[in-house]
Chain A
Amino acid sequence: MQRTMMDFWVGLFVMAGIGALLILGMKVGNLTTYQTGESYTLVGNFENIGGLKVRAPVKSAGVVVGRVADIQFSLETYDAVVTINMDARYQFPQDTFASILTSGLLGEQYVGLLPGGDDAMLEDGDKFMKTNSAIVLEDMIGRFLFDKAAEDKDF
């Protein structure tokens, strides 16, 4: 086969391969919404994080505004310290309420942010003042049974 013809096919092959990688990134993956821009970190202490994982989304009003970067256990306060990477485009007031919610009945868990009314905004490295733990099914059932028993005693 002629050299130029071979070069042509190899060039086409390489371009198709790179094109395939681009399609994977754009169409199959989330490169279009990939956070490469600036971000800032916030920290929240939660009594119970349930099944929250690193890389779980942080949503406000259903829009993804950040991701969970790190989860540690604090030996001083005996609770979970969740570090969050926030998109720098989104600023939240200082009295923002952070809670751990579940998407759907069996869906993954995420951090939901409910903005407050403060004029001062959360800065890089700040802590959420108010947090709400994940709902644990056993606790709920336990509380329900306890209430039921208390009701029965009234009779």
Chain B
Amino acid sequence: MIKHIVTGIQAVGHRVIDGVWRLGCASRFFLLVLLNSPPSFLRFGLITREIYFAGVLSLVIILVSGLFVGMVLGLQGYETLQKFGAESAVGTLVALSLVRELGPVIAALLFASRAGSAMTAEIGLMKATEQLAAMGMMAVDPVARVVAPRFWAGVFSMPLLAAMFTVMGVFGGYLVTVIFIGVDEGSFWSQMQDAVDFRYDIVNGVIKSCFFGVAITAIAVFEGFDAPPTAEGVSGATTRTVVTSALTILGMDFVLTAFMFRGVS
């Protein structure tokens, strides 16, 4: 009996120590990437290439999702608001929820599953096929050559993608409520502009997406670099990237929201 309890406690301790150890590894790796970043800024072509793969190729999914999210928001918001005769406030509802929360968060979730997983799989496979080791043999630092450009490309692309997602969402809301349903166009835009503050709402949304960009790419490159060099290991690392990124984004979003929009104290 006592033996079972002891092994149970040991299992808990083992997991906690493992988790803390991994977190420490990830933080040290993050520092290493930052230290090795200056050389990759000197060869900006590398970063451009990664922005193409992480940012430009994610555009389609980001824009289409943004459009549909905005359309659904417009439709649902109209359904509820028209009960109170406040259907002209639907522009405010769509814009505020997109600019503050949905834009940064959904764009980040899509970016994590579209670009983050690809980054992990690519780096993991490079490790499994010993390309990273070969680079090390040729005195090329794999962190500076492979990891840092990907990291900065992700950090740079994320806010731009989130902004485009938000714009598409507002356009989708406009399409459904003003064009299809027939809410007054003037009050749609004027109430929206009245409610959305540049410094308080838009800049805070951009700050959020910058944080998400750093978190997603840091997780993605770490998982890829840390993946066991087997087919199974790479697939596991890819899954972990998506799961960990999603949880980190949602958790971080709550903390950032609590700091940014806690209202007037």
Contact residues of A with B, CB < 8 Å?
1, 3, 6-7, 9-10, 12-14, 16-18, 20-21, 23-25, 27-34, 53-55, 71
The 10 tightest CB contacts between A and B, nearest first, are A17-B160, A20-B163, A20-B167, A20-B164, A29-B198, A29-B196, A31-B198, A13-B56, A54-B264, A21-B163
Cα distance A87–B164 when bound, in Å? 33
Name the residue of chain B whose CB is nearest to the CB of A9. Answer: B56
Name the residue of chain A whose CB is nearest to the CB of B153. Answer: A10
Interface centre among A7, A10, A18, A32 (most CB of B within 10 A): A10
Q: Which listed residue, A1, A9, A24, A30, touches B163 by the CB 8 Å rule?
A: A24
Contact A21 B196 (CB under 8 A): no
Q: Mark B130-172, 1 if CB is under 8 A from A, else 0.
A: 0000000000000000000000000001011101101100100
Name the residue of chain A whose CB is nearest to the CB of B196. Answer: A29
Contact B264 A18 (CB under 8 A): no
Cβ-based interface call for B118 (8 A): no
Cα distance A24–B198 when bound, in Å? 8
Contact B48 A10 (CB under 8 A): yes
Cα distance A25–B157 when bound, in Å? 19
Cβ-based interface call for B201 (8 A): yes
Contact A24 B56 (CB under 8 A): no
A2 → chain B, closest Cβ, in Å?
11
| B161: A residues at CB distance < 8 A | 17
Contact B194 A20 (CB under 8 A): no
| B264: A residues at CB distance < 8 A | 53-55, 71
Q: Which listed residue, B45, B167, B196, touches A23 by the CB 8 Å rule?
A: B167
A84 → chain B, closest Cβ, in Å?
15
| A25: B residues at CB distance < 8 A | 198, 202
| A17: B residues at CB distance < 8 A | 159-161, 163-164
Cα distance A72–B200 when bound, in Å? 21
Contact B160 A18 (CB under 8 A): yes
| B159: A residues at CB distance < 8 A | 17
- CB contact list, B179-236 vs A, under 8 A: 189, 192-194, 196-202, 206
Contact A10 B196 (CB under 8 A): no
Contact B196 A9 (CB under 8 A): no
Cα distance A31–B192 when bound, in Å? 12
Cβ-based interface call for B51 (8 A): yes
Known: A13-B59, A30-B194. A24 touches B160 (CB 8 A): no
| B196: A residues at CB distance < 8 A | 28-30
A141 → chain B, closest Cβ, in Å?
24
